[in-house]
Amino acid sequence: MPQVRIVARNFMDMVAALPSAKLDKLYESSFICEALLRSLPPLAKKYTLQMLFIESPVTAKSMEEWVLPDGFSKHRVAIDRLLQLRIFLELSDRKKETIYLINPKFQSSMQKYLLHGGTLPRESMPLGATVRLLTLEDLEAYAQKQWECFLLQLINSAQAERLTNFSPSMIKVFQRGLLSSRENEVPRLTENGFQFLLMDTNAQLWYIIREYITTSEDRGVDSSDLISFLLELSFHSLAEAYNLNTLDDVQINVIKDLADLGLVKLQQGRKESWFIPTKLASNLAVSLSDSSSHKQGFVVVETNFRIYAYSSSKLHSEILRLFSRIEYLLPNLIVGAITKESLYTAFENGITAEQIISFLQQNAHARVAERIPTVPENVTDQIRLWETDRNRVEMIPSHLYEDFPSKDVFEAACEFAREVGGLLWEDAVKMQLIVRGELHQQMRDFLRRLK
């Protein structure tokens, strides 16, 4: 899904916006370097690797020789990105030529990583009588439940079975931009909110995390600490226990919030407590570089516009309700229909046809996912047609000119309007013409000159 990349890139912009001292501090951790490196465009990755063991700076000119002429724009993008993230430093040498030097901090932690490997600040706890590990399935189910619970609370706090520990003010922050809350009114999902729901989990997660980080300063948490902790967390081994006493106070608070999101599971033993990272946490850094997540789809769309969604999730039925009419809710199956009316409400809420189609395609059930097209063509065409239905009338502000003194003046005016590309309609008999509004001034000057 394209949104993941956009959201993730925004996150990287946030990293790039950190002051250089903080950024340099981040680069002391090889895991952050790794996560950042993976988020770079392919060419930038290659340049970084190439420069990794070069101590002396390289001139911009010789670097340009690395690429073919048609790759030059990509080259610029890559270099810009590297400079923004301060992985490359731009200097000028004695001959006033631009030279690039790889950030020494980044270089040394990366070199160390390649040669000796990285070590996490904490070791996983040994399996023993106290630590009983969950199976991967259990852990995934837990993460999913936690996340859906959070989302339900976000969009509709009445529906949620169990509230998360987030303070109402925190939830407000997350809802900002997703819900419109006017005074004395039930909050309604905004256009962005709908689009948010149609995104895949990783993109949603990044959106929330981003909001969480941007407001961290208000809570007295340093944003670079938070970023480094989050990125570090994504490199912890899945489904292994880590002792909570390896964290400092700020991190413990953060980890409690993350447990609410389903990123980690907290468990308590007799003496110690520990956290277990879930798949959501380990996907955090992965989704920065690759957007293709392998989620099990659940939706089957038939040519008769019926939707069968094999899911018991309340969230899924809420999402489907956004653009279809839900007919039956069975224990493991949601049956609905895409109708003109249901789509019109969706369009009014600002969801586009493309979003709906891509949602249906992304979440297609494994049985239909192999088929081409995944969603029947007549359904996708009809969804698009219904969308264009709403845009049948196009409004163009314009001016009507009439009462021309002679046929010649009228024809000259027509000719002029045609030349400037603003003629919309003319009637030679009644000597009337309509021209685009923004050209009125030009038309007036022209007609004045004719007189």
Q: Based on C-alpha coordinates, what's the Rg of the chain?
A: 29
Distance between CA atoms of residues 149 and 42, nearest Å: 37
Written as six digits, the tokens of 304 are 């008769």
Residue 67 engages other proteins in binding (rule: CB under 8 A)? yes
Contacts of residue 225, defined as CB under 8 A and 6 or more positions apart, other chains included, come to: 250
Pick from 329, 276, 395, 287: nearest CA to 9: 287
Distance between CA atoms of residues 411 and 434, nearest Å: 13
Closest distance of CB 283 from other proteins, Å: 9
Only segment of 14-22, 233-241, 265-273, 300-308 that touches other proteins (CB under 8 A):
233-241
DSSP structural state of residue 65: T
Written as six digits, the tokens of 47 are 């340049």
Closest distance of CB 37 from other proteins, Å: 7
Q: Could you give the string, one character per residue 256-295, with x where binding to other proteins holds by CB under 8 A and - elsewhere?
A: -----------------------------xx--xxxx-x-
Closest distance of CB 16 from other proteins, Å: 20
Closest distance of CB 296 from other proteins, Å: 12
Q: Could you give the string, one character per residue 101-140, with x where binding to other proteins holds by CB under 8 A and - elsewhere?
A: ------------xxxxxxxx--xx----------------
Q: Which of 68, 129, 393, 429 binds other proteins (CB under 8 A)?
A: 68
Distance between CA atoms of residues 138 and 278, nearest Å: 10
Only segment of 48-56, 171-179, 205-213, 251-259 that touches other proteins (CB under 8 A):
48-56
Distance between CA atoms of residues 93 and 74, nearest Å: 25
Residue 355 engages other proteins in binding (rule: CB under 8 A)? no
Q: Which of 9, 25, 46, 219 binds other proteins (CB under 8 A)?
A: 46
C-beta closer to other proteins: residue 3 or 153: 3
Pick from 396, 416, 414: nearest CA to 404: 414
Distance between CA atoms of residues 215 and 223, nearest Å: 9
Closest distance of CB 105 from other proteins, Å: 17
Q: Judge residue 360's burial from the number of C-beta atoms within 10 Å of its C-beta, 0-12 exposed, 13-18 middle, 19 or more buried.
A: buried
Question: How many residues line the site for other proteins (CB under 8 A)?
Answer: 43
Q: Which of 86, 236, 265, 436 binds other proteins (CB under 8 A)?
A: 236
Distance between CA atoms of residues 372 and 17, nearest Å: 43
C-beta closer to other proteins: residue 37 or 151: 37
Neighbours of 390 (CB within 10 A): 12
| Residues near other proteins, by CB under 8 A | 34, 37-38, 42-43, 45-46, 49-50, 52-54, 65-68, 70-71, 74-75, 113-120, 123-124, 235-238, 285-286, 289-292, 294, 369-370
